[in-house]
């Protein structure tokens, strides 16, 4: 059981739970080795003992690990520890598109298109790596704080083989494609349908289909006509409405055939919002199939216990609809076979015994045009304009590019009734082979192995703390992927340990600086203390590498801490002159003077009696820049005289001495 504070994989410290899903919980964690925040996705305990769920969880990691794209949440690591299955992913701080739509009550046209383009780019990168998301919805799209759009939670994605893969419906039913709702195959076009629903919600603020339960919503995806966005918001541009409607065609073949095609039309929509950027013919005959009352009754019977466990009901629904869909497909194939046989007989016999009402007087004929060499989509557009029905058979080809028509069952120029069926044979590309794992091998070994199996190889360098220099640390496509022979495999080769970013600790206290360096994975060699007038005492005033620079692992950083401004010392080299007239008008040369010299910080340098001037004063290593000289001397007056009346003799009485004091400022010189 995952607990806050625990460390898994000997490096990921669990900090807090930030999300939860049907199969897993997501935690914010700190990678202690790389000193970065990550998201750790952990399979819920109730599923960890279920081999099916564990298998799906492992497949998710294998599929996503080789996918690196700016519009996809990247996967860093995967592991298992004491029954805890986890995936380590890029931590994206931001808001889900679902919450963003709710917050703004629908998005402006240009904003919605820009978001959709970024989703398509990420989705297309996954498709190019043979990964089908199968759960595209606003809840799985994150808008980061810097505005970057990223697709996340490949919760049901797994590497696709050359054939389409059948799975149970596991995504949110509001966004699921009709084929997923029936329990049928799902491929790139299923993701495109879900993208269309997401785009509908972005521009209208609501989903096109809703109901009381999952079964009711699934039925709408299968049999109800897709509502136009303008029916909810009349001011929606024509261009974006037509894109949504093409994405959400019931038939996968009538949708966009790739995410790249969607991007092309989305960019056109930004340039010409009021022009229909999608061929109108593509929006006709949406492939809606009505479910019979008997099927609906069966579905309702299977949903009696829905309030207890809707998840089980939905699995039953998909099974029933898959059977029903199979029956309908079988009937369609029988009908088409009859039509083809009838057409062939008509060519051979000059008339049709299967369609006796057709005659030259009542039926319009068209001439078959050349479509060989066109893309399947362009060929179907040409034949649709002729009001002909097309069936596409795909066969492997090592010569003709995938998706290009190689032949038709009707010759160019042949006349055939409108409504007839034409079979196109198109290239499915070359056969696909499994990519082997070459992780840990030297580049030379890995390259030789891949080239020997028919792959091309390219190299990029990358840092690794664990893998030896010159050995492979990553490969794209990932091991186990099914790709065409000749596909380029990009190998990431270790060039040694990664660089670490040096934090800026200038102005921090010594304790703060050391802690920051240690958290960044760096070592502090020691702290020295120096005088520095720019930084107050106790604060870092120097670091060996500037903040923001990158250094190798094991680099030792020097730190210096300020002792404050450099203290200066002063010297006193002066002559103390005799008191001046202005200082002591009654001073007479030769009078004894007490001279006291005291510095500004209270240090007494001189205290002496002087009769001769000047007096030398030489002192060194003083901390003060100046001092005060105090001079004290005695002054005696003339006295008083008196005459004795009897004798007539004059008597002089001397006056008492008077102490006089004055001060003089003296400045010292810095040593």
pLDDT mean over 622-640:
89
Q: Cβ of 488: how many Cβ atoms within 10 Å?
A: 12
pLDDT of 244 > 60? The answer is yes
Statement: residue 306 has pLDDT above 60: no
Give the pLDDT confidence score for residue 311 in this predicted structure.
46
pLDDT over 60 (residue 348): no
Point out the least confidently predicted range of 182-191, 424-433, 569-578: 424-433
Residue 22 has pLDDT above 90, yes or no: no
For position 325, what pLDDT does the model report?
A: 54
Residue-level pLDDT at 280: 39
The beta-carbon contacts of 183-186 under 8 Å, at least 24 apart in sequence, are 183/317, 183/318, 183/319, 183/321, 183/322, 184/322, 184/325, 186/132, 186/134
- Closest listed residue to residue 325, CA positions, set 351, 287, 356: 287
**DSSP symbol at 489:** E
- Please state the rounded mean pLDDT for residues 557-579: 92
Average pLDDT, the chain: 81
**Is pLDDT above 50 for 159?**
no
Q: Identify the residue whose tokens are 């349908």.
A: 193
**Mean pLDDT of the 147-166 span:** 56
Which are the catalytic amino acids? 135
Query: Between 472 and 340, where is the model more confident?
Result: 472
Nearest C-alpha neighbor of 611 from the set 593, 633, 584: 593
* More confident call, 182 vs 270: 270
Residue 640 banded pLDDT, cuts 50, 70, 90: confident
Higher-scoring residue by pLDDT: 394, 504: 504
The vertex-640 CA angle with 635 and 641, nearest 5°, equals 145
Confidence band (pLDDT; 50, 70, 90) for 157? very low
Distance between CA 193 and CA 180 in Å, rounded? 10
- The pLDDT score that the predictor gives to residue 128 is 86
Reported as a single tens digit per residue, the pLDDT across 589-622 is: 999 999 999 999 999 999 999 999 999 999 999 9
- The pLDDT > 90 percentage for the chain reads 37
Res 480: pLDDT = 86
What pLDDT sits at residue 336? Answer: 52
pLDDT tens-digit profile of 356-407?
222 333 468 899 999 999 998 888 889 888 888 777 777 777 677 888 998 9
Highest-confidence segment of 65-79, 100-114, 357-371, 410-424: 100-114
Q: Is the pLDDT score of 564 beyond 50?
A: yes
Checking DSSP bridges between strand 570-576 and strand 615-622, what pairing results, if any? antiparallel
Backbone angles phi, psi at 572, to 5 degrees: -120, 110
Predicted model pTM: 0.45
Mean pLDDT of 258-286: 77
Q: What is the mean pLDDT of residues 194-212?
A: 94
For residues 241 and 32, give the distance between their C-alpha atoms in angstroms, rounded to a whole number. 49
Q: How far apart are CA 593 and CA 609, in angstroms?
A: 5
User: Three-state SS for 36?
Assistant: strand
Rounded distance between C-alpha atoms, residue 14 and residue 9, angstroms: 11
Look at residue 288 in the predicted model and tell me its pLDDT: 44
Rama region for 621: left / alpha / beta (φ>0; ψ in -120 to 50; rest): left
CA angle at residue 234 from 230 to 239, to 5 degrees?
A: 55
Residue position matching structure tokens 């005033």: 541
Cis? peptide before 477, omega within 30° of 0: yes
Per-residue confidence (pLDDT) for residue 541, from 0 to 100: 94
**Phi and psi torsions of 396, nearest 5°:** -70, 145
Q: What percent of the chain has pLDDT over 70?
A: 81
């Amino acid at each position: 059981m995952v607990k806050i504070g625990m460390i898994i994989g000997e490096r990921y410290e669990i900090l807090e739970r930030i999300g939860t899903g049907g199969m897993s919980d997501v935690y914010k964690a700190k990678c202690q080795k790389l000193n970065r925040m990550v998201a750790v996705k952990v399979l819920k305990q109730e599923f960890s003992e279920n081999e099916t769920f564990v298998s799906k969880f492992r497949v998710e990691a294998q599929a996503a690990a080789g996918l690196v794209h700016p519009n996809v949440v990247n996967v860093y690591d995967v592991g298992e520890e004491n029954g805890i299955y986890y995936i380590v992913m890029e931590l994206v701080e931001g808001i889900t598109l679902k919450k963003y739509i709710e917050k703004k009550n629908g998005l402006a046209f240009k904003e919605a298109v820009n978001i959709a383009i970024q989703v398509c780019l990420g989705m297309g990168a996954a498709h190019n790596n043979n990964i089908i998301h199968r759960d595209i919805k606003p809840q799985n799209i994150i808008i980061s704080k810097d505005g970057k759009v990223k697709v996340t939670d490949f919760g049901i994605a797994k590497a696709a083989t050359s054939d389409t893969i059948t799975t149970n419906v596991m995504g949110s039913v509001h966004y699921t494609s009709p084929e997923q709702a029936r329990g049928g195959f799902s491929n790139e076009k299923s993701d495109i349908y879900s993208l269309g629903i997401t785009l509908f919600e972005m521009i209208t603020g609501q989903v096109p289909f809703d109901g009381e339960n999952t079964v009711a919503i699934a039925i709408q995806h299968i049999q109800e006509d897709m509502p136009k966005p303008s029916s909810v918001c009349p001011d929606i541009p024509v261009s974006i409405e037509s894109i949504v409607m093409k994405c959400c065609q019931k038939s996968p073949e009538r949708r966009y055939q790739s995410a790249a095609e969607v991007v092309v039309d989305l960019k056109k929509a930004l340039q010409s919002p009021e022009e229909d950027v999608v061929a109108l013919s593509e929006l006709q005959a949406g492939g809606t199939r009505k479910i019979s009352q008997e099927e609906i009754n069966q579905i309702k019977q299977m949903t009696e216990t829905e309030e207890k466990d809707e998840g089980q009901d939905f699995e039953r629904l998909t099974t029933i609809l898959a059977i029903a869909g199979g029956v309908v497909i079988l009937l369609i194939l029988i009908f088409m076979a009859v039509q083809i046989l009838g057409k062939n007989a008509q060519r051979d016999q000059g008339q049709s015994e299967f369609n006796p009402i057709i005659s030259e007087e009542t039926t319009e004929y068209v001439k078959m045009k050349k479509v060989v060499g066109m893309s399947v989509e362009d060929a179907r557009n040409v034949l649709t304009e002729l009001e002909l029905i097309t069936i596409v058979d795909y066969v492997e080809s090592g010569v003709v590019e995938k998706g290009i028509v190689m032949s038709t069952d009707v010759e160019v120029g042949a006349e055939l009734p409108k409504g007839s069926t034409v079979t196109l044979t198109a290239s499915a590309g070359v056969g696909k082979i499994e990519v082997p794992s070459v992780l840990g091998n030297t580049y030379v070994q890995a390259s030789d192995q891949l080239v020997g199996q028919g792959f091309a190889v390219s190299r990029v360098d990358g840092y690794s703390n664990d893998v030896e220099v010159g050995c492979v640390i990553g490969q794209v496509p990932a091991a186990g992927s099914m790709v065409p022979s000749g596909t380029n495999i990009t190998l990431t080769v270790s060039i040694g340990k990664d660089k670490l970013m040096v934090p800026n600790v200038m102005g921090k206290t010594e304790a703060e600086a050391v802690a920051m360096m240690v958290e960044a994975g760096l070592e502090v060699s020691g702290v020295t203390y120096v005088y520095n007038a720019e930084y107050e005492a106790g604060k870092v005033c120097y670091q060996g590498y500037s903040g923001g620079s990158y250094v190798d692992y094991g680099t030792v950083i020097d730190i210096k801490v300020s002792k404050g401004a450099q203290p200066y010392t002063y010297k006193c080299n002066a002559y103390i002159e005799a008191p001046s007239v202005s200082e002591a008008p009654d001073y007479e040369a030769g009078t004894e003077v007490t001279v006291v010299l005291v510095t500004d910080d209270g240090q007494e340098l001189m205290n002496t009696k002087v009769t001769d001037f000047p007096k030398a004063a030489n002192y060194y290593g003083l901390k003060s820049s100046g001092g005060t000289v105090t001079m004290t001397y005695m002054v005696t007056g003339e006295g008083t005289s008196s005459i004795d009346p009897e004798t007539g003799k004059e008597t002089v009485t001397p006056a008492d001495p008077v102490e006089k004091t004055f001060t003089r400022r003296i400045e010292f010189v810095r040593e």
